[in-house]
Chains A and B, each alone.
Chain A
Amino acid sequence: KAGVTQTPRYLIKTRGQQVTLSCSPISGHRSVSWYQQTPGQGLQFLFEYFSETQRNKGNFPGRFSGRQFSNSRSEMNVSTLELGDSALYLCASSLEGGYTEAFFGQGTRLTVV
């Protein structure tokens, strides 16, 4: 079956703009979680969605938001982009969320200039 699909794979944005990233989970999975990976801060948990509700949230400013649709696809939005938002954004899907096994996508590489 198809894996987790993240689109786009690469993105270049200008400071101050906003960006929306998309994640299509494995069919049947109801949970999607998002992560930011940077050389400076490493890998950090952003938030987790389950059945269209945000269930858990990491320590990120309100500029980072997300949502999940009824088909479990999820989007992540970053407003007022800063240079430090340049990162690889990973999403993962799982059947039940939480600590059940998650499958990761290849990520979206965002560059803010």
Chain B
Amino acid sequence: AQSVTQPDIHITVSEGASLELRCNYSYGATPYLFWYVQSPGQGLQLLLKYFSGDTLVQGIKGFEAEFKRSQSSFNLRKPSVHWSDAAEYFCAVGPPGGSYIPTFGRGTSLIVHP
């Protein structure tokens, strides 16, 4: 069965500092990979996705993620965090090319200090 692990429940960074949120997955093949953000009281918004090809993926709001097959990881990064980035971040995986049945990680709560 596929699974997603986000090892950090909470991460605190200062505004302007760099950010890396970790995501590891367990899957038989290379799955489709996603990062979503959820602001308080809101639904999810897709930040970026990886299907195949270039392992460094650029997303919205200045985020990027790197797929590393050898480590089964898809970590999310941002060079300089803004206070508005404070939110819950979810990594998700899904079976490649087939049925849409995503599996989500438990989420990482990002706290940004001024």
Interface residues of A (CB under 8 A from B): 4, 33, 42-45, 48, 55-58, 90, 92, 97-99, 101-107
The 4 closest A-B pairs by CB, nearest first: A104-B43, A43-B104, A98-B100, A42-B106
Contacts of B100 in A (CB 8 A): 33, 48, 55-56, 97-99
B-side interface residues, number (CB < 8 Å)? 20
In Å, the complex CA distance between A102 and B103 comes to: 15
Question: How would you classify the secondary structure of chain A's contact residues: helix, strand, loop or mixed?
Answer: strand
Interface residues of B (CB under 8 A from A): 32, 41-46, 49, 51, 90, 94, 99-107
Across the two chains, which residue of chain B brings its CB closest to A3? B43
A44→B32 contact, CB < 8 A: no
A106→B51 contact, CB < 8 A: no
Contacts of B41 in A (CB 8 A): 106
Across the two chains, which residue of chain A brings its CB closest to B106? A42
Across the two chains, which residue of chain B brings its CB closest to A91? B43
